[in-house]
């Protein structure tokens, strides 16, 4: 057992030293996005295929017709579509980001809507709400305070006479006749002990420490620092021993002292190291697939709950003119209620499959003979008949009976837009697709690609925030150019190896203690 533990601990620690250190460091930084939200990198320096092509990687989330022109928006900002009657070829959209944050992290645009009467555009971004006057020549976007701050906005919805602003935790409404006067209409919600919540979300929060507030996040940061310490001290001792310099020089003595602390701290911190590794591997396939649709009783939540029952759970919203109600897609399902926000929203029991990562397209289909909602996420895209409750796969036309889809499906939707007589949508890996808007419910549909050229600022000079680059590293997707499909299991395999190294280190330490005690009694 001692020999096996020694080999496992040495092999996992030395071979995967850089990987473990990268996971520890990136985890710390990802826990504090505010510290690095202004740092960007060129996409072409990131290993693998991270440059924008065909409006992929969430660079397209939707569009909007503005007068005689059009706007499209996504992770890379807002772009104005140029129509030239004299030209027979489509022209790349023009930059329409003047005034938005220069940070790629904060510029990320989730929604753009138009107040036709006032001639004002509103854009919801990770950096907050912005507005822009359409009639103003050479104008630019200007920030708008909502409830005295600049919360990240996840969706905007036009309703008769008002604008609804959705953040990840609150719902606000501003009337057209009183621009700038935002009223919080976040509906009350009664959560009983018999209700259930997503196990995936709980594991995600536990992995980052958010379940226990700031103290939990700092504890996870400490575990990340400890991981760095263990990799450095273990690697240093191994190198000095290999070079036979443990007995000479200050470096050798320091390596021995480092190893003693490595052993003592490792024994005490092993449960925490094991916990962080386990919660990490459960967030990636194949373990993610097993828990994606699993829920747990609300009363079993291990942390301190935020007073706001919707905290960090709101994703998308729409206004249904047939019922005059607001529908909100959340991490706990879809809810429906009035615009006043004074009554609890009712959960809708049976909805189309939505990925655990949340809805990315959620809109009424204009011109449909019956109230129809388009629902898209990383699980795919569906048409939902509000009257009958029937929903079908947008691409195949096949009805679906399951409310739960895979975390990631064949069509990883990032957004959609009905542009005249055609539907346009974005897929994370395949880019923009388009089909005729009619017939709506029939399938399978013949998808066309490369519908719209990309501006050179994106295709040749796109930028990615440091936070997103580290996130791609932390979840293993950055290694897809080497591992291909196997990059999906890079994190689970790495986590299992980390746990193997942790357990073998404990066995090695306990085995040495027993041997020492045995020699003393003899």
The string of DSSP letters for 386-407 reads TTT--EEETTT--B---S---S
- Residue 513: pLDDT band by 50, 70, 90 thresholds? low
Give the Cβ contact number of residue 131 at 10 Å: 18
pLDDT in tens, 463-492: 999 999 999 999 998 988 888 888 888 999
186: left (phi over 0), alpha (psi -120 to 50) or beta: beta
Q: What is the per-residue pLDDT for 372?
A: 93
Average pLDDT score over residue span 306-329: 94
Q: What is the per-residue pLDDT for 132?
A: 95
In a domain, 446, yes or no: no
In a domain, 443, yes or no: no
Q: In whole numbers, what is the pLDDT of the chain averaged over residues? A: 90
In a domain, 222, yes or no: yes
Burial of 180 (0-12, 13-18, 19+ CB in 10 A): exposed
Specify whether the CB–CB gap between 426 and 373 falls below 8 A: no
281 vs 370: CA distance, rounded Å: 44
- Dig out the tokens for 62 from the structure: 């939707």
Specify whether the CB–CB gap between 376 and 395 falls below 8 A: no
In a domain, 272, yes or no: yes
In a domain, 419, yes or no: no
Report CA dihedral (472, 473, 479, 481) to the nearest 10 degrees. Answer: 40
pTM over 0.85: yes
Q: What is the per-residue pLDDT for 522?
A: 35
% of the chain residues with pLDDT over 70: 96
Q: What is the per-residue pLDDT for 514?
A: 57
Residues 6+ positions from 292 with CB-CB distance below 8 Å: 200, 356, 404, 406, 407
Pairing type for strands 196-198 and 182-184 reads unpaired
Specify whether the CB–CB gap between 427 and 415 falls below 8 A: no
The label of the residue with tokens 């898209």 reads 376
Q: Domain of 500?
A: 2-34+199-302+490-521
205 vs 302: CA distance, rounded Å: 11
Q: What is the per-residue pLDDT for 246?
A: 81
Q: Among the listed ranges 65-74, 377-386, 443-452, which one has the minimum average pLDDT value?
A: 443-452
Specify whether the CB–CB gap between 326 and 159 falls below 8 A: yes
Q: Give 56-97 as a DSSP string.
A: -TTS--EEEEETTEEEEEETTEEEEEP--TT-SSPPPPEE--
Specify whether the CB–CB gap between 423 and 367 falls below 8 A: no
Most confident of 81-95, 97-111, 397-411, 427-441: 97-111
More confident residue, 57 or 304: 57
In a domain, 422, yes or no: no
Q: What is the per-residue pLDDT for 234?
A: 93
**How many distinct structural domains can be found in the chain?**
1
pLDDT in tens, 101-122: 999 999 999 999 999 888 899 9
CA–CA–CA angle 448, 449, 454 (5° rounding): 145
72 vs 54: CA distance, rounded Å: 13
Average pLDDT score over residue span 326-342: 93
pLDDT in tens, 165-185: 999 999 999 999 988 899 999
């Amino acid at each position: 057992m001692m020999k096996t533990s020694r080999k496992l601990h040495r092999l996992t620690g030395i071979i995967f030293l850089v990987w473990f250190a990268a996971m520890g460091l990136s985890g710390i930084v990802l826990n504090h996005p505010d510290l690095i939200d202004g740092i960007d990198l060129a996409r072409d320096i990131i290993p693998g295929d991270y440059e924008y092509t065909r409006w992929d990687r969430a660079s397209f989330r939707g569009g909007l017709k503005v007068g005689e022109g059009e706007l499209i928006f996504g992770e890379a900002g807002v772009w104005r579509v140029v129509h030239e009657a004299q030209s027979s070829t489509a022209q790349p959209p023009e930059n329409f980001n003047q005034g938005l944050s220069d940070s790629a992290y904060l510029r990320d645009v989730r929604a753009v809507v138009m107040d036709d009467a006032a001639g004002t555009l509103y854009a919801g971004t990770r950096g907050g709400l912005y507005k822009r006057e359409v009639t103003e020549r050479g104008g630019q976007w200007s920030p708008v305070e909502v409830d005295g701050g600049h919360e990240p906005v996840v969706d905007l919805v036009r309703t008769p006479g008002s604008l609804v602003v959705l953040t990840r935790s609150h719902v606000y409404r501003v009337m057209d006749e009183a621009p700038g006067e935002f009223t919080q209409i976040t509906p009350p919600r009664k959560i009983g002990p018999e209700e259930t919540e997503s196990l995936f979300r709980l594991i995600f929060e536990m992995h980052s420490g958010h379940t226990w507030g700031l103290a939990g996040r700092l504890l996870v940061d400490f575990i990340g620092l400890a991981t760095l310490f263990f990799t450095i001290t273990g690697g240093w001792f191994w190198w000095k021993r290999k070079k036979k310099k443990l007995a000479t020089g200050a470096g050798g003595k320091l390596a021995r002292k480092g190893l003693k602390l490595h052993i003592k701290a490792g024994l005490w911190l092993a449960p925490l190291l094991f916990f962080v590794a386990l919660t990490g591997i459960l967030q990636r396939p194949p373990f993610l697939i097993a828990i994606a649709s699993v829920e747990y009783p609300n009363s079993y939540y291990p942390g301190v709950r935020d007073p706001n029952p919707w905290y960090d759970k709101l994703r998308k919203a729409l206004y249904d003119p047939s019922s005059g109600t607001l529908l909100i897609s959340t991490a706990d399902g879809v809810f429906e209620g009035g615009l006043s926000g004074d009554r609890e929203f009712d959960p809708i029991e049976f909805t189309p499959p939505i990925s655990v990562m949340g809805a990315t397209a959620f809109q009424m289909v204009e011109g449909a003979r019956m109230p129809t909602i388009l629902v898209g996420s990383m699980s795919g895209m569906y048409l939902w008949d509000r009257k009958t409750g029937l929903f079908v796969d947008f691409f195949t036309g096949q009805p679906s009976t399951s409310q739960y889809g895979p975390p990631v499906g064949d069509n990883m939707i990032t957004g959609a837009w009905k542009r005249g007589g055609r539907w346009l949508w974005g897929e994370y890996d395949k880019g923009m697709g388009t089909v005729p808007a009619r017939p709506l419910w029939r399938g399978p549909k013949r998808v066309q690609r490369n519908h719209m050229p990309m501006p050179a600022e994106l295709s040749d000079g796109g930028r990615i925030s440091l936070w997103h680059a580290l996130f791609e590293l932390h979840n293993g997707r950055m290694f897809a150019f080497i591992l291909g499909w196997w990059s999906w299991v890079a994190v689970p395999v790495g986590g299992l190896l980390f746990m193997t190294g942790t357990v073998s280190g404990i066995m090695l330490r306990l085995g040495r203690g027993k041997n020492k005690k045995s020699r003393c009694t003899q």
